Amino acid sequence: MQTKTLYEKLNIPLWLVTISVMLPTVFSMLASSSVNVAIPYIAGQFGSTRDEANWVITSYMIAHAFMLPITGWLENKFSRRDLLKVISIIFAVGSVICFLAPSLNILIVGRIIQGIGGGPFMPLSQAILMQIFPKRLQATAMGIFGIGVMVSAIIGPAVGGFLVEHLCWEWIFIINIPVVIMSVVMIHCNVMNSSLRQKVGGFDVVGFSALILWLLPMQTVLDKGAQYGWFDCTWICWLSGFSVCAMVFFIVWELEYKNAITDFRIFKDWNFCLGTILGSGVNMLAYMTLSVLPGFVQSLMGYNAELAGLSLAFRAVSCVIFMVVVSKLCEFIDNRIIAGIGYVLLLVSTFSFTQLNLQVSFAYFALPNIILGAGIMFAFIPITKLALATVQKEKLAVAAGLHSLSKCVVTAFTISITNALIIAFSQVHQNYLIGNLSVLNQPFISRLASLSAKLSNFLPQAVALKKANGILYHNLLAQAKLMSYVDVFAIFSLICLIFIPLCFLLKNKVE
């Protein structure tokens, strides 16, 4: 391998290069999830609604997604080392703007700049690791990459919760600045330019515009759909149709235009196409639980931001441990079998969450999250390795960008649809359960009388009866919401079951 030989000649160890490219990648992924728990504090400080403050998350995701498919073009147009340094500085500038933001609008602008800088890190680091590691160690490379991407996203809420509870939400952005300075120095000293650069033409303005016109309306629909009743709302219907048309135009244009910013023909590669689908499935399950579990413990069990984040910490520890195990196993065992085992573990973990109730302890979340972390590593490492192993080396950055874009779009859909399902299922269960709060239901009458009698020791009888009714109705709402969470976990368990046999359709032998 030419790139590896270059590093060997310059006596630069692989671990130093790995740290240099993964450090900014880790913090760009932290930036995507650590802010989630700070939204109520940001909304309170700027006097905005939670829906308005959610654009702090959405704006980063959109800008991040815009940059993924053009990473390959940027790497070919500019030198790899200079590109990494420039996007690091852009990410730092965005962090400074977020830290100093005097209003919500300026904060959103800062997040967009952060997303522009942070977007290319993931595909670039993935491509670099695949190029510099020898073939026998590519599973290890993807394990390191998986830890950087998955673990940083998982511990993001815990880190954000700690900073919010003990310092202030601005610290979520302050910590990025010294890390970026260190990253720029390390990249300059340790990362070499690729010898596989291809000549590219001018920037594809039409294609990039179509990409924006696809992703921006799509994210708006996903964010606002539940609030406005989805397709019962006229402007949601129009915006959805516009987004679909822009997506089709973008794909067709990129296939036909000579100087396209990305290459959809890479999807002709069977392993890349199926590996992207399976990899998106891993992301879907990882981020579904990452979104749903904090919401469950905060809304139904009264956890604060720090505890909600810590409830996921078991998964991060599991990911780190099983990265080492799976990386070694991939050298000796059919990678498709390992991926299948990963999806089985994801199935077991996801299905175990269907047993949730309102009396579970903090420790209850340990075992399912440990199994989930193991499943993520067992599935992510071999699938990512096989998906990119058959791609030509000069197209690795382009392929990694498309691979990341696909997972980003699937993740956005998953989070939005999951939240919508929880709301819809909760209403359905509420409609079924409300019949139990009837004078014809003897257990309800007995419980109401008992509770009313206890409250009448402190309140007038009429007030006590009203309070008792309110408490029982509140319990009904909590039970309906609990059942909706259980339904969502059951649905994703079924999806896991469907994905298991698909792992064995990958081609394991790489020429």
Q: pLDDT digit string (tens) for 44-83?
A: 777 766 666 777 777 777 787 777 777 777 777 777 777 7
| Same domain, yes or no: 141 and 251 | no
CA–CA gap between residue 341 and residue 333 (Å, rounded)? 12
Closest CA to 88 of 133, 23, 153, 35: 23
- Provide the domain count of the chain: 3
Residue 34: CA atoms inside 13 Å, Cβ hemisphere, count?
27
| Same domain, yes or no: 254 and 171 | no
Sequence-ordered list of residues with C-beta below 8 angstroms from that of 68, at least 6 positions apart, any chain = 119, 120, 122, 123, 401, 402, 404, 405, 408
> Which pLDDT belongs to residue 4?
46
Q: Please tell me the pTM assigned to this model.
A: 0.75
> Which pLDDT belongs to residue 78?
74
CA–CA gap between residue 285 and residue 297 (Å, rounded)? 18
Q: Is 239 within the bounds of a domain?
A: yes
What is the four-CA torsion angle of 341, 346, 348, 350, rounded to 10 degrees? -170
Q: pLDDT digit string (tens) for 458-475?
A: 767 677 777 777 777 777
CB atoms within 10 A of CB 242: 15
Sequence-ordered list of residues with C-beta below 8 angstroms from that of 206, at least 6 positions apart, any chain = 253, 257
**Residue located via tokens 């080396």:** 393
Q: Is 187 within the bounds of a domain?
A: yes
Structure tokens at 402: 């498309």
In Å, how far are 369, 430, 470 from 475, measured between CA atoms? Answer: 27, 11, 9
| Same domain, yes or no: 397 and 486 | yes
CA–CA gap between residue 493 and residue 285 (Å, rounded)? 9
| Same domain, yes or no: 290 and 277 | yes
| Same domain, yes or no: 477 and 502 | yes
Sequence-ordered list of residues with C-beta below 8 angstroms from that of 38, at least 6 positions apart, any chain = 160, 163, 164, 169, 172, 305
CA–CA gap between residue 150 and residue 342 (Å, rounded)? 15
Confidence of residue 440 (pLDDT cuts 50, 70, 90): low
Q: Is 419 within the bounds of a domain?
A: yes
Average pLDDT over residues 95-110: 81
| Same domain, yes or no: 352 and 367 | yes
| Same domain, yes or no: 183 and 303 | no
Burial of 127 (C-beta count, 10 Å sphere; 0-12/13-18/19+): buried
CA–CA gap between residue 247 and residue 348 (Å, rounded)? 36
Q: Out of 237, 260, 283, pick the residue that ends a domain.
A: 260
Closest CA to 402 of 153, 211, 143: 211
Structure tokens at 314: 């078991």
Which of 110-114, 275-279, 358-362, 379-383 shows the lowest mean pLDDT across its residues?
358-362
Q: pLDDT digit string (tens) for 318-362?
A: 877 887 788 778 777 888 888 888 899 999 988 888 888 878 777
Q: Is 265 within the bounds of a domain?
A: no
Which of 51-65, 314-328, 436-450, 493-507 shows the lowest mean pLDDT across its residues?
436-450
Q: Out of 177, 199, 221, pick the residue that ends a domain.
A: 199
User: Diameter of the chain by CA atoms?
Assistant: 87
Where helices occur in 311-459 by DSSP H, the ranges are 313-329, 335-352, 366-389, 396-433, 442-455
Q: Is 470 within the bounds of a domain?
A: yes
| Same domain, yes or no: 320 and 238 | no
Average pLDDT over residues 503-508: 82
Helix, strand, or coil (residue 509): coil
Q: Out of 160, 177, 199, pick the residue that ends a domain.
A: 199
| Same domain, yes or no: 328 and 374 | yes
CA–CA gap between residue 207 and residue 252 (Å, rounded)? 10
Cβ 231 vs Cβ 237: under 8 Å: yes
Give the mean pLDDT of the chain.
77
Structure tokens at 244: 């679909």
Task: Give residue 450's domain range.
Answer: 270-511
**Residue located via tokens 């490379």:** 141
Structure tokens at 229: 């009743």
Q: Is 423 within the bounds of a domain?
A: yes
Cβ 90 vs Cβ 116: under 8 Å: yes
| Same domain, yes or no: 234 and 330 | no
Cβ 305 vs Cβ 158: under 8 Å: no
Q: Is 213 within the bounds of a domain?
A: yes
| Same domain, yes or no: 362 and 416 | yes
| Same domain, yes or no: 464 and 400 | yes
* Orientation of helix 14-33 relative to helix 121-132, angle to 10°: 160
CA–CA gap between residue 463 and residue 455 (Å, rounded)? 9
Q: Is 361 within the bounds of a domain?
A: yes
